[in-house]
Chain A
Amino acid sequence: DIVMTQSPDSLAVSLGQRATINCKSSQSILYSSNNKNYLAWYQQKPRQPPKLLIYWASTRESGVPDRFSGRGSGTDFTLTISSLQAEDVAVYYCQQYYNTPYSFGQGTKLEIK
């Protein structure tokens, strides 16, 4: 099974500043036949289901603000929020869909400093 590990577990960033969350997979999730990384990012606010932000490691879901970006390949990935807004306070999860069992990182709690 693929284990996803995020860092840090929590993060406090000032409004307008950059926030970066890291995600590492225990094996490569780059599928060689199509050169795609099977990695998604989700945002979860209290008492809400998760919301899809990014898939294929760097493709922004429709309607997601462009301050959210994803990058990385193979086993190492990052989610960056370029200019933190108050509404970005949430827990963020990475998830691999390379194979089943699909797996999530443990989550990173993002707060305002």
Chain B
Amino acid sequence: QVQLVQSGAEVKKPGASVKVSCKASGYIFSDYYMHWVRQAPGQGLEWMGWINPISGGTDYAQKFQDRVTMTGDTSIKTVHMELSRLTSDDTAVYYCARAGTTEIIPPVFDYWGQGTLVTVSS
């Protein structure tokens, strides 16, 4: 069965960086991009960007362009999302979610990780 398993909760100080991992299993890794979506406490969903884990190609939301780096390791079917220069506004649950890229495997988020809570506090 398809699973996306994320790394555990993190507590960081303002100005620090955080790296969240997402390990995929149960499907053909190369058939899907991996996206990152975050959700601040009590708030809605915010798309951060995607990575093609095979080519390493990325597309980031402009808001995060200069602070986010998404990488992949195909040998262990894992992707990472690193966010730098953290502020309290970055306190949120961060989700990875897979999406296809074609009409046959549409670019929608059909499987999600369990979420990783990142707390930024001094």
Contacts and interface: CB of A to CB of B under 8 A. Distances in A.
Interface of A: 34, 36, 38, 40, 42, 44, 49-52, 55-56, 61, 93, 95, 97, 100-107
Interface residues of B, number: 24
Given A52-B108, A52-B110, A34 B103 contact: yes
Interface of B: 35, 44-47, 49-50, 59, 61-63, 95, 97, 99, 103, 106-110, 112-115
Given A49-B95, A49-B115, A104-B46, A36 B103 contact: yes
Nearest to A49: B112
A50 B98 CA distance: 12
B95 A100 contact: no
Contacts of B45: 42, 44, 50, 93, 95, 104, 107
B112 A100 contact: no
B62 A49 contact: no
A6 to B, nearest CB: 9
B44 A103 contact: no
A110 to B, nearest CB: 15
Contacts of B59: 100
Given A49-B112, A104-B45, A55 B61 contact: no
A100 B58 CA distance: 11
Contact of B108 (A44, A55, A100): A55
A50 B61 contact: no
A95 B35 CA distance: 14
Contact of B44 (A38, A51, A93): A93
A104 B109 contact: no
Contact of B114 (A36, A49, A61): A49
A105 to B, nearest CB: 8
Given A104-B44, A104-B46, A49 B113 contact: yes
Contacts of B106: 55-56, 97
Nearest to B59: A100
Given A34-B103, A36-B103, A49-B95, A104 B47 contact: yes
